[in-house]
């Protein structure tokens, strides 16, 4: 990294701008095998990096997206003692579509909480990318005793961003056209072309059913709700963005930071270059921030292990002494 970073600090937030992404990690085309978690809404596929007994974070991918989007970050966190549960949203990655679509940010956040509870995590951090930021804000606001930390990486915020080329209300209304015999295939092709222009890749072939679900999720966005959620986030929060992001412009990230009015700590990291996928290309910086925020829980885990080791050693010592006394 070259050049000098510009830093602005306030009482509760810090904005740091750096010239370029600090990490460029080679990505493999595959991913680790995962497991299916049974929830009230249906089965959800997850990939788990690290020991499930460690402090945990859940990931929420964009639209489209999948658990693969966080595979670099998951590996870095596992190396530092944090368990990452990378979730495929229903209908994405390897998760089957559910009979009832979770459309609103609150409904999608509830699914994340259900998945994490089913995995045994009563409290956890949340890392979101792109459109996943809407559900992440809802999770932190509606489950303040559950979500311990929040990292928003190139996410949508509380104002419209470039990625919403059409008004979200119109996108939701047009979703019904995707299932019509003649218009449907053309509409699907047009939406795929829009994704291609934006540089967004999909893990699955495009079909009318998947596209219809995506339009309904987009149509369920309410920026007034997102502003309310942001105003009720009470955990340390990281906002990461790049000035050359083609989908989420700089002003959206700054408006999001301003909306986090009661969060005890807001760190805002800006990269001059890095694009829209900083959870891959700036993964080391995101991982370091999360580990710092989880430091108390990591220390508690180490203390528990030391205490268990001392207790086991004491028990073994007493057993040896008892055995010697019995033999004598």
Mind listing the domains of the chain with CATH numbers? 11-163+223-312 (3.40.50.1820)
Ramachandran angles phi, psi of 145, nearest 5°: -85, -5
- Mean of the pLDDT values across residues 134-141? 98
Nearest-angstrom CA–CA distance, 111 and 85: 13
Q: Tell me the torsion sign for CA atoms 190, 194, 199, 203.
A: negative
Structure tokens at 194: 């829009």
Residue 104 has pLDDT above 80, yes or no: yes
Residue 72 has pLDDT above 50, yes or no: yes
Task: List 57's β-bridge partners, or say none.
Answer: 84, 125
pLDDT per position as a tens digit, 20-34: 433 333 333 457 789
- Helix, strand, or coil here: 58? strand
* Range ranked top by mean pLDDT from 129-143, 178-192, 201-215: 129-143
Confidence at residue 174, expressed as pLDDT on a 0 to 100 scale: 62
- Helix, strand, or coil here: 74? helix
SS (H, E, C) 97-115: CCCCCCCCHHHHHHHHHHH
pLDDT per position as a tens digit, 271-319: 999 999 999 999 999 999 988 888 766 655 544 544 555 555 555 555 5
Task: Specify burial of residue 12 (Cβ count, 10 A radius: 0-12, 13-18, 19+).
Answer: middle
* Strand ranges in 106-208 using DSSP code E only, listed in sequence order: 124-129, 147-153
* Element containing residue 134 per DSSP (H, E): helix 132-142
CA-to-CA dists, residue 143 to 21, 124, 165, 292, 294, angstroms = 32, 11, 31, 22, 18
Q: Are strands 43-49 and 83-87 parallel, antiparallel or unpaired?
A: antiparallel
pLDDT per position as a tens digit, 145-197: 999 999 999 999 999 988 776 655 556 556 566 666 767 777 777 767 766 66
Residue 6 has pLDDT above 90, yes or no: no
Confidence at residue 220, expressed as pLDDT on a 0 to 100 scale: 87
> What percent of the chain stands above pLDDT 70?
70
pTM of the model as a whole: 0.79
Q: What is the mean pLDDT of the chain?
A: 81
């Amino acid at each position: 990294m070259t050049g000098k970073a510009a830093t602005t600090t306030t009482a509760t937030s810090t904005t740091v701008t750096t010239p370029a992404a600090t990490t460029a990690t080679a990505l493999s085309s595959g991913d680790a095998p995962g497991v299916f978690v049974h929830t009230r809404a249906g089965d959800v596929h997850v990939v788990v990096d690290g020991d499930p007994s460690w402090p945990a974070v859940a990931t929420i991918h964009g639209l489209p997206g999948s658990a693969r989007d966080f595979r670099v970050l998951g590996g870095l966190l596992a190396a530092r003692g944090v368990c990452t549960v990378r979730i495929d949203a229903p209908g994405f990655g390897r998760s089957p579509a559910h009979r009832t679509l979770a459309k609103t940010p609150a409904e999608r956040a509830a699914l994340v909480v259900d998945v994490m509870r089913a995995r045994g995590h009563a409290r956890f951090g949340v890392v979101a990318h792109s459109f996943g930021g809407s559900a992440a804000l809802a999770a932190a606001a509606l489950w303040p005793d559950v979500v311990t930390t929040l990292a928003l990486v190139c996410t949508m915020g509380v104002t419209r961003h470039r990625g919403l080329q059409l008004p979200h209300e119109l996108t939701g209304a047009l979703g019904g056209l995707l299932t019509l015999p003649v218009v449907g295939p053309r509409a699907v092709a047009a939406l795929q072309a829009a994704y291609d222009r934006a540089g967004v890749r999909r893990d699955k072939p495009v079909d009318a059913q998947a596209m219809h679900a995506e339009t309904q999720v987009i149509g369920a966005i309410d920026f007034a709700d997102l502003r309310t959620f942001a105003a009720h986030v009470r955990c340390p929060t990281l906002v990461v963005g790049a000035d050359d992001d083609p989908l989420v412009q700089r002003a959206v990230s700054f408006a999001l930071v301003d909306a986090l009015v009661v969060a005890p700590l807001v760190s805002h990291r800006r990269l001059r270059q890095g694009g829209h996928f900083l959870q891959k290309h700036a993964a080391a910086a995101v991982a370091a921030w999360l580990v710092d925020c989880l430091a108390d829980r990591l220390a508690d885990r180490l203390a528990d292990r030391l205490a268990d080791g001392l207790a086991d050693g004491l028990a073994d010592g007493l057993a040896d002494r008892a055995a010697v006394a019995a033999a004598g």
